[in-house]
Amino acid sequence: MKKLLLSTLLAATTLSAAARDGFAIVIDAKSLGEARSEVQAYADAIEKAHGLKVYTIIDRWGVPDSIRAELQRLNSLKKEPIVGTVLIGDIPVPMIRDGQHMTSAFKMMQSQPRKDSSIPSDRFYDDFHLKFQYLDRDSDANYFYYSVRPDGAQRLHPNIYSGRIRPTDAFGTNRYDKLRAYLRKAVAAKQQQRHIRKMFFFSGHGYISDSKVARMDEKVAWQEHFPSLRDGRRNRISYMDHSDHNPVKEHVMGEVMRTDLDLAVLHHHGAWDTEYFNAIDLPYTVKEAKAYIRKNVRQHVVAAKERGRDWEKMRDDLRQRFDLPASWMDDIFDEQLNRQDSIDDASINLQLEDFAHYGYRPNAPVVIIDACYCGSFHRDNCIANEYIFQPGGTVAVVANTVNVLQDKWSDRLIGLINAGGCVGDIARFSTYLESHVIGDPTYRFAADDKQLDIDHLIHENRPATWRKLLRSQRPDLQCLAIEQLATAGNITSSELRHIYETAESGLVRLMAMNRISEMRDDNAIAVIAQGTQDAFELAQRQAVRLIHESGDDRLIPALIALSIENNTSDRVNFDASTALGVMPKDKLMDEFSRQWDRPEVQTVHKDSTRAIIARAIEHSADFRSQNIIAMDTMTSEKEIRFAIRSQRNDMVHAYVPFFLEYIDRPTTTVEQQVMVLEALGWHKQSYQTPLICERALAISADEKYAPQVRAEALKTYNRLHAQ
């Protein structure tokens, strides 16, 4: 690609003598011309509030490679290197391909349209360990497509933090008016030096299995993240569940609009234009049940007709399947009923149009949207954009450009924003391609105690510093120390085990368990086994997920012990069922018999309950291996592709040798070889990881394989071998 010129200018501002690090504002020339005084005021505020030297990079040509090269240069300066950046205006959007292993849940086939099957991600601009191969650009959008190269890093560890401020002309607005207004708001927010005193969190319909235990323990975690919220006299942490109201939308909006609210965390399903809050109310009376059924049938048939499908066949199938009277189908296309259905559906979710319709003005300075697609900043509009460009007080939203895993640690290291870190660090340490700050990434709350220059410490990255912070009284600082030491290989599994077994903080235990898991030694197995009984629900849930990802037989006793408990939380039970599916059935059943027959196990109807649980275990254990067993007789390319790709989530670890052998079968195509190697590369905690690494490295150097197979093998090796 042609090397393009960037103009790098130092903002004309007097710097304080204490300025040690820098920050880069990347902006297109048109946006700078339209908002020059506001950009200058924003730069001044950053320097005054945070002591950072501000550089302004004017993107005159709009090519991601040139911007990235300049950011990398500024980050490598010996004096006043940048620790973060914000991309303002029409800055090109990197669309990442061949990097789904660095997302939490995105697994779309890349044969789908590339705008949909690529990941919009500014990790291109902030993680210099990654290497990219330029592919192409769109003629109708500022999208540049890149493939993750196999010879670069395969895990995220951004060198700097980043954020996006991208106003658009959505709903007839003017992007430059919005930019000027937003920057003025961001400057005012910095001048307030606000302490975090109140927060709100919300749980939408169907998220993490509607687990009540998870939300109970989450409140305790918020008190660990923000010690100032521990108050025996005043309620500083409020919670709302979707089941409290239906529709709950206006109640959530009312909370987030409170001027005394500092942080809002919203857990729910989402789309780029919708926050999904409620489901349709379940019926409680016979009359309500009849109306509920008729509405569901009506909506299915209407949707089928709108999509050009055989709606008459669907209507008849539904009638026969549920033995419904024909009269219940008479009004399927009644205009008044269908209009009311649309009104009812709109009332239960928050959509882009609702900001103007309701006068919704979010005021919490920081909003976390733990949902799919709500941060799709590359589109003409998205939910996160509406939050920051309203006249309210919200200046930063952490949201996702594609779909996300429900069980991820969504508040990882968030407490740093009250200890000297900034909002940018939340996305930086989420370690996912899809996580982004929409708005000002430099925003931070005023510290209640001694404030550290977190980003300077991260840039220096001195092991001695992290060793000192291991003894901090702040859990997030301890977690940061563990993260940095483990990433650099400067902490042993014995140390991590000791931290896990002695830490009072659930957050610290969770971080220690996450970082020890990839070491796959005896200490890791011991910590994961203990984690299945952890008092912190998220740590317990993550331990069960790690059993799934490990597949080590030594974890079977802990998994069975959890599976036969009377009162396992909904989401832990869901993950335990999934983990059972990757373990050998004979060993599971032997361990179940051993544990169930102990006199300590007491339950009503013990014999019949035993049979129920045994059947559930047998079914789960068989379920995950069925597709693999059938591969030897499959002739359909579609079936084979599905069987291989499903192993990314559901690898039955005992079948790793089968897949390694499958690569070398004479009938295996190049495409299938690549898919197998890619699927194997998802399993960095597996007890079979050393075997995968050995074989992948050999394939990468063997010229008998096609170039794309060798490249995928190298990528898999680098994904699994790096700690």
Task: Give yes or no: residues 293 and 385 share one domain.
Answer: no
pLDDT value, residue 722:
67
Q: Distance between CA 316 and CA 293 in Å, rounded? A: 15
Residue that finishes a domain, picked among 126, 144, 178: 178
Residue 79 sits in a domain whose CATH number is 3.40.50.10390
Q: Give the number of C-alpha atoms closer than 13 A to the C-alpha of residue 686, restricted to the C-beta side.
A: 28
Task: Give yes or no: residues 151 and 32 share one domain.
Answer: yes
Task: Give yes or no: residues 132 and 239 share one domain.
Answer: no
Stretches where the chain sits below pLDDT 50 are: 1-19
Structural domain contains residue 253 = yes
CA-nearest of 15, 103, 19, 706 to 436 is: 103
Task: Give yes or no: residues 126 and 231 share one domain.
Answer: no
Structural domain contains residue 394 = yes
Structural domain contains residue 552 = yes
Residues 6+ apart with CB under 8 A from 399: 368, 369, 371, 374, 375, 382, 383, 384, 435, 436, 438
Task: Give yes or no: residues 71 and 155 share one domain.
Answer: yes
Beta bridge partners of 350: 275
Structural domain contains residue 541 = yes
Strands 22-28 and 82-88: parallel
Residue 540 sits in a domain whose CATH number is 1.25.10.10
The reported pTM is 0.92
Torsion of CA 678, 684, 690, 694, to 10 degrees: 30
Domain that holds residue 637: 632-721
Task: Give yes or no: residues 91 and 211 share one domain.
Answer: no
CA-nearest of 378, 423, 376 to 400 is: 376
Task: Give yes or no: residues 120 and 231 share one domain.
Answer: no
Structural domain contains residue 355 = yes
Structural domain contains residue 265 = yes
DSSP 283-315: P-SHHHHHHHHHHHHHHHHHHHHHTTS-HHHHH
Task: Give yes or no: residues 140 and 90 share one domain.
Answer: yes
> Which value, in Å, is the radius of gyration of the alpha carbons in the chain?
27
What separation in angstroms does the CA of 405 have from each of 99, 432, 650? 16, 10, 15
* Structural contact between residues 574 and 209, judged by C-beta atoms closer than 8 angstroms: yes
CA 72 to chain centre: 25
Task: Give yes or no: residues 614 and 637 share one domain.
Answer: no
CA 709 to chain centre: 29
Element (H, E) at 351: strand 349-351
Task: Give yes or no: residues 152 and 51 share one domain.
Answer: yes
Q: Distance between CA 43 and CA 49 in Å, rounded? A: 10
* Structural contact between residues 521 and 496, judged by C-beta atoms closer than 8 angstroms: no
Q: Distance between CA 290 and CA 303 in Å, rounded? A: 20
Number of compact structural domains in the chain: 5
* Structural contact between residues 587 and 621, judged by C-beta atoms closer than 8 angstroms: no
Residue that finishes a domain, picked among 623, 654, 685: 623
Strands 269-271 and 263-267: unpaired
CA-nearest of 382, 388, 346 to 365 is: 388
CB neighbours of residue 282 within 10 Å: 9
Task: Give yes or no: residues 129 and 198 share one domain.
Answer: no
Task: Give yes or no: residues 59 and 83 share one domain.
Answer: yes
Q: Distance between CA 174 and CA 169 in Å, rounded? A: 5
Structural domain contains residue 485 = no
Backbone angles phi, psi at 258, to 5 degrees: -60, 135
Residue that finishes a domain, picked among 562, 593, 623: 623
Structural domain contains residue 465 = no
DSSP 431-494: --TTEEEEE-TT--PPPSSPPP-HHHHHHH--HHHHHHHTT-SSHHHHHHHHHHHHHTT-S-HH
Q: How many residues does the chain have?
A: 723
